[in-house]
Amino acid sequence: MLERMTAALPQMLADLEELVRCESPSRDLAAVAGSADVVARIGTVSLGAEPERIVLDGRTHLRWRLGTGPARVLVLGHHDTVWPLGSFEPVWSLADGVVRGPGCFDMKAGLVLAFTALAALPDREGVTVLVTGDEELGSPSSRELIEKEALGCAAALVLEASAAGGALKTARKGVSLYEVAVTGRAAHAGLEPERGVNAGVELAHQVLAIAQLGDPARGTTVTPTLSAAGTASNTVPARATVAVDVRVPDEAEQDRVDAAMRALRPVLPGAQVTVTGGPNRPPLAPDASAALFDRAAALARDLGLPPLEGTAVGGGSDGNLTAGVGVPTLDGLGAVGGGAHADDEHVLVDRLPGRAALVAALVADLLAEAGPSAGTNCAPDFGRGRP
């Protein structure tokens, strides 16, 4: 299998370049739709079947249901990125065994690995491939779709980028997202500031209170992030807002922080405080991935790959959602590299064949355990010209 994936490396790089050059910032609906076209074309060649296009709230998601029987394994990824059009230059480079470009690591290389791995399997009966277009926004339109596709599966394999050194992500913190809005009263800052209620000052009180809600000993972080106040430099602000990012190790902490956020009260007379938002993704607990990780580690040894490591990370993914509905989930099966969401985003080329071989072996092993297939709608020559 590893030799086959090594032979497929030139095609993997060609596919990755095509995906990366088609930029796909989450908030640009036209760009996401154009990216979906590219993903669909590459996936169709690899899988021998065209995807269903599912447009929700204007965002394009793709689903391949392979075979005619029930779903057994969900292979999950996303094609949207955090990079505004033209913000990453050059948009593609390949030098000294390193690929650079917007979304190459998070997570377009993961899509290429998924398609390449599945193309190598003689039986894909029961595999569902779901590629969403809004993961970087917290999956607002695709969450229900992801959860429904996961239910009933023996496993969800998430092709998000690996952790440092290629480690798989065996636990993820839960994520909550809030906006705190303060309403005050405007007044002239020079003539009669005392007649105003300064929303900016009230916001400062709220930010200090919010920052105290974290618990470093438990691994809970509560971080005020994007903030804004006022409309003019000579006017007492009548409105101010702050976004709050929460990461928690378990549901009890998620509930505690949620209750504390909703209990915020104004300090200044006449100010009002409104809290919106809430839990976005439940934690991916270690026990959701333990058995799958052990299986993957054994397969890596059989393939002659470096020993696998697992690690807990603070970032959330759609793997949190599949684990949240009780489906065993293994995350971080995608590319090895680094710099997600940063200007040094990159993929290590020499690690791509091994990752593709591992994904293929893991899917095949899961399908074999689930029992003989009931038939397939896949063409006999799965690669359709691919190595």
Specify the pairing of strand 168-172 against strand 310-313. parallel
Strand partners, 316: none
The active-site residue out of 106, 135, 202, 331 is 135
The set of long-range contacts for 295-301, using a CB threshold of 8 Å and a minimum separation of 24, is 295/362, 295/365, 295/366, 296/168, 296/330, 296/333, 296/358, 296/362, 299/358, 299/361, 299/362, 299/365, 300/358
Active-site hit among 15, 17, 23, 80: 80
Instruction: Tell me the backbone φ, ψ of residue 165, rounded to 5 degrees.
Output: 75, 5
Query: Tokens at residue 59, please?
Result: 């965002």
Catalytic residue status for 15: no
Angle at CA of residue 318, ends 8 and 55, nearest 5°: 85
147 is a catalytic site residue = no
Query: What is the per-residue DSSP string for 262-296?
Result: HT---SSTT-EEEEEEEEEE--B-GGGTHHHHHHH
Residues classed as catalytic: 80, 135
